[in-house]
């Protein structure tokens, strides 16, 4: 096939919606670099770019030849003919043709493509992966071969009230004392923050014992402002309930910053102020909501850490991966549920925690040895429909998930609605509901506060705005897609009309919630931050954003200074990561889509703290989504 024919086929794929102009542009770029490049190189370029666009950092050639439709997540059912091109070849055929090109190397160099273990990368992403592998493996070496004699007693005291058997929280602490890398994963309310607080108190005591260091430098971060605010709140809560000496409590950080702020972001640049030449000064760095971190950000973080810094990652491995390329947390936590510990790890656990775990037939990787999965949700007990539903979805158990959803007698925190059309009245009622924290709130609640509780005096303005922001957080409509009647765009238009029928041709109005869609370093507003448009003391519209992570003061911004925002009555599940709402209404579209996966449904459900409503236009989409996993 000539290059002209390849580009004609790529155009056909673009028409089908399978590839983008960006993917073609990358193939054209390769062709410009090597005009004689064979067709495999051009296709490989377009497909690596396509995979990156859907969050995959490499193209798996083996999988491509076996299951092209699935590997590339192509949306149509009639893709067989178009894909026979790939099925005819084996991965070895692809590799031997790729290796003839000057555009590809199997490691160091400057070629745009890198082939490693039958995986094809863009060089930049291969480098990120190298940084990640190297920096993590450095930290996996044990730094302690034994712990002080009185350590066990301190540990027993800290965990004396825990009822779980085995006590995974205790095991997580013991393992994290061994080396400079640890992962603590678990669903919502499994005690990640509580465990972290206890772990930090142990590490502070240990450092005092080992080095008599007066104070450890501990940094706490999360990928978004909202996630940083949540972890700060959880740590403050945990510290309130834990018994430990005041001098230790004082060393535990109470405020998290965003990763961007911690690393020192620079306007209009992907690079950070902190890197290997200007490392962060920290003994311990903790990152919460680590499932939201993409490969580039994780590589930047690791690049900025001195070798001696201990890194602790917390998060829920079963949540959706970041929107950007690379499901780092999911990859690092592979097989975490099997607790595939080797003999050395089992001995360490039993020696210091007195927990005895059974040996497994196939012990896992070095990363597995430093990973602990917390399994018992202290927030969603056995009677919580949200907890039960999340577990069934996560296990891919369609029958159980369906029956939990239908059993509203047993689980009053769940609701399931089948929508007749886009103007369904039940949906409208749910959105308009006033409710309050206890009953199912809709958007009527925050609007009541705006229009009925607006203070007459300037003194109470700040508090009123805080109340509005908190009330808006009680309810959120989530959806899977951006476009279409059931995507962010269609839903935002409809909900706006329902709530503000009198508003016409006006972009800005009192009550409009907006989400930032692009980092604005000058204003200190990050992609995903949400603000509400409110009239200020003299009636002029301004947008109220919660204070940044180190302050609880409202940040008032003029709408004129916010070019990159969109209305936020509905947001994608992806954008909702790191946030929680009392009531979540998850709307599934009326057509199948490769983005509708088990991880998306699980993430949507677990954003709900007290009430979860599933809104469907077609009965089969929920079951199909649960059956499809990103893993
Ligand atoms: N072992 C335990 N026994 C009893 N209650 C616990 C235990 N561990 C945690 N909790 C309680 O469960 C609740 C959730 O704990 P925590 O905030 O640590 O969980 P998390 O996994 O960090 O939650 P999130 O997913 O929201 O970040 C808190 O009220 C905490 O006090």
528: closest CA among 566, 490, 569, 494?
Answer: 566
Residues 162 and 225 in one domain: yes
234: closest CA among 261, 194, 198?
Answer: 194
Question: What band does 394 get if pLDDT is binned at 50, 70 and 90?
Answer: confident
Question: What band does 83 get if pLDDT is binned at 50, 70 and 90?
Answer: low
Residues 73 and 199 in one domain: no
292 within some domain: yes
- At residue 199, the pLDDT reads 93
Residues 291 and 435 in one domain: no
Distance from the alpha carbon of residue 166 to the mean position of ligand 1, in angstroms:
16
Residues 238 and 349 in one domain: yes
Rg (Cα) of the chain, in Å, rounded? Answer: 26
What is residue 322's DSSP assignment?
A: P
Burial track 74-106 (b if 16+ CB lie within 10 A, e otherwise):
beeeebeebbeebeeeebeebbebbeebebbbe
Residue to mutate, 194, 235, 607, ligand 1, most ligand atoms under 8 Å from C-beta: 194
Asked if 606 contacts 379 with a C-beta cutoff of 8 angstroms, the reply is no
366 within some domain: yes
Residues 303 and 405 in one domain: no
The Cα 586–Cα 416 span in angstroms is 10
Distance from the alpha carbon of residue 598 to the mean position of ligand 1, in angstroms:
24
Distance from the alpha carbon of residue 190 to the mean position of ligand 1, in angstroms:
5
Residues 249 and 365 in one domain: yes
Q: What is the pLDDT of residues 163-218, one digit of tens each?
A: 788 999 999 999 999 999 999 999 888 999 999 999 999 998 888 777 766 788 99
214 is in an annotated binding site: no
Domain coverage including residue 96: 3-132
Residues 313 and 367 in one domain: yes
**Last-in-domain residue among 374, 394, 409:** 374
Total of domains in the chain = 3
Asked if 228 contacts 256 with a C-beta cutoff of 8 angstroms, the reply is yes
Residue to mutate, 239, 240, 378, ligand 1, most ligand atoms under 8 Å from C-beta: 378
The ligand 1 site (C-beta within 6 Å) comprises 162, 169, 186, 188-194, 234, 238, 241, 378-379
Global confidence as pTM: 0.83
Q: What is the pLDDT of residues 477-511, one digit of tens each?
A: 999 888 888 899 999 999 999 999 888 888 899 99
Distance from the alpha carbon of residue 438 to the mean position of ligand 1, in angstroms:
21
- At residue 86, the pLDDT reads 65
Question: What band does 531 get if pLDDT is binned at 50, 70 and 90?
Answer: very high
Residues 164 and 260 in one domain: yes
578 is in an annotated binding site: no
Which atom of ligand 1 is nearest the CA belonging to 378?
A: 12
Q: Which protein residue has the closest C-alpha to ligand 1 atom 15?
A: 191
- The pLDDT mean for the chain works out to 86
Give me the CATH number covering residue 278. Answer: 3.40.50.300
Residues 241 and 327 in one domain: yes
394 within some domain: yes
The Cα 86–Cα 67 span in angstroms is 9
Evaluate if residue 76 carries a pLDDT over 60. no
Distance from the alpha carbon of residue 188 to the mean position of ligand 1, in angstroms:
8
The Cα 226–Cα 220 span in angstroms is 14
146 within some domain: no
Residue to mutate, 156, 162, 172, 191, ligand 1, most ligand atoms under 8 Å from C-beta: 191
Does the interface ipTM go beyond 0.95? Answer: yes
The C-alpha angle 379, 155, 341, rounded to 5 degrees, equals: 75
Residues 254 and 365 in one domain: yes
Q: How many CB atoms lie within 10 A of CB 152?
A: 15
291 within some domain: yes
Which atom of ligand 1 is nearest the CA belonging to 194?
A: 18
190 is in an annotated binding site: yes
Residues 157 and 87 in one domain: no
The Cα 261–Cα 542 span in angstroms is 25
Beta-strand ranges (E) seen in 241-400 are 257-258, 284-287, 310-315, 371-374
**Last-in-domain residue among 89, 105, 132:** 132
510 within some domain: no
Give the range with max mean pLDDT: 428-442, 540-554, 569-583. Answer: 569-583
Give me the CATH number covering residue 21. Answer: 1.10.10.1020
Residues 84 and 193 in one domain: no
The Cα 234–Cα 194 span in angstroms is 8
**Last-in-domain residue among 334, 354, 374:** 374
The Cα 102–Cα 121 span in angstroms is 15
536 within some domain: no
238 within some domain: yes
């Amino acid at each position: 096939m000539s290059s002209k024919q390849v580009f004609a086929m790529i155009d056909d794929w673009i028409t089908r919606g399978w590839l983008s102009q960006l993917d073609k542009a990358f193939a054209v770029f390769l062709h410009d670099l090597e005009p004689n490049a064979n067709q495999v190189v051009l296709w490989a370029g377009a497909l690596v770019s396509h995979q990156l666009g859907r969050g995959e950092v490499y193209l798996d050639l083996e999988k491509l030849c076996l299951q092209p439709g699935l590997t590339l997540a192509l949306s149509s059912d009639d893709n067989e003919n178009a894909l026979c091109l790939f099925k005819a070849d084996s991965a070895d055929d692809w590799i031997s043709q790729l290796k003839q090109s000057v555009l590809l190397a199997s490691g160091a160099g400057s070629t745009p493509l890198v082939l490693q273990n039958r995986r094809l990368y863009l060089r930049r992403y291969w480098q990120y992966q190298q940084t990640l592998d190297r920096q993590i493996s450095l930290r996996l070496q044990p730094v302690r071969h034994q712990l002080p004699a009185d350590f066990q007693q301190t540990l027993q005291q800290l965990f004396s009230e825990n009822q779980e058997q085995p006590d995974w929280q205790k095991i997580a602490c013991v393992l994290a004392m061994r080396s400079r890398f640890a992962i603590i994963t678990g669903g919502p309310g499994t005690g990640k923050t509580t465990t972290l607080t206890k772990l930090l108190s142990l590490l502070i005591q240990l450092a005092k014992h080992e080095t008599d260091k007066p104070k450890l430098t501990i940094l706490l971060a999360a990928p978004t402002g909202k996630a940083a605010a949540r972890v700060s709140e959880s740590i403050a809560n945990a510290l309130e309930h834990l018994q430990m000496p005041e001098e230790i409590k004082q060393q535990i950080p109470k405020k998290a910053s965003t990763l961007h702020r911690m690393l020192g972001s620079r306007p209009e640049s992907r690079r950070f102020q902190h890197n290997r030449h200007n490392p962060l000064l920290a003994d311990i760095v903790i990152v919460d909501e680590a499932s939201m971190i993409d490969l580039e950000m994780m590589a930047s973080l690791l690049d900025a850490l001195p070798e001696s810094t201990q890194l602790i990652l917390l998060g829920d491995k079963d949540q959706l991966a970041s929107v950007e390329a690379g499901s780092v947390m999911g990859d690092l936590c592979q097989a975490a549920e099997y607790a595939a510990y080797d003999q050395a790890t089992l001995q360490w656990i039993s020696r210091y925690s007195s927990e005895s775990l059974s040996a497994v037939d196939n012990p896992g990787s070095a990363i597995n040895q430093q990973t602990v999965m917390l399994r018992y949700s202290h927030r969603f007990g056995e009677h919580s429909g949200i907890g039960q539903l999340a577990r069934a979805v996560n296990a891919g158990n369609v029958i159980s998930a369906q029956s939990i959803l239908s059993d509203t007698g047993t689980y009053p925190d769940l609701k399931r609605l089948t929508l007749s059309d886009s103007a369904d009245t039940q949906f409208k009622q749910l959105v308009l509901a006033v409710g309050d924290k206890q009953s199912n709130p809709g958007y009527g609640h925050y609007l009541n506060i705006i229009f009925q509780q607006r203070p007459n005096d300037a003194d109470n303005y700040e508090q009123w705005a805080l109340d509005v922001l908190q009330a808006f957080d009680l309810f959120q409509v989530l959806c899977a897609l951006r476009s279409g009647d059931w995507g962010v765009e269609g839903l935002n238009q409809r909900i706006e009309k329902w709530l503000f029928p009198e508003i016409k041709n006006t972009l800005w109005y009192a009550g409009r919630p907006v989400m930032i869609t692009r980092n604005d370093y000058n204003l200190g507003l990050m992609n995903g931050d949400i603000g509400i448009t409110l009239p200020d003391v003299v009636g002029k519209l301004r947008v109220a954003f919660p204070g940044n992570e180190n302050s609880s003061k409202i940040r008032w911004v003029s709408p004129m200074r916010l070019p990159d925002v969109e209305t936020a009555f509905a947001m994608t599940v992806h954008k909702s990561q790191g946030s929680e709402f009392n009531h979540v209404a998850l709307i599934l579209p009326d057509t199948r889509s490769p983005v509708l996966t088990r991880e998306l449904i699980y993430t949507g459900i677990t954003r709900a703290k007290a009430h979860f409503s599933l809104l469907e236009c077609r009965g089969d989409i929920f079951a199909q989504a649960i059956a499809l996993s990103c893993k």
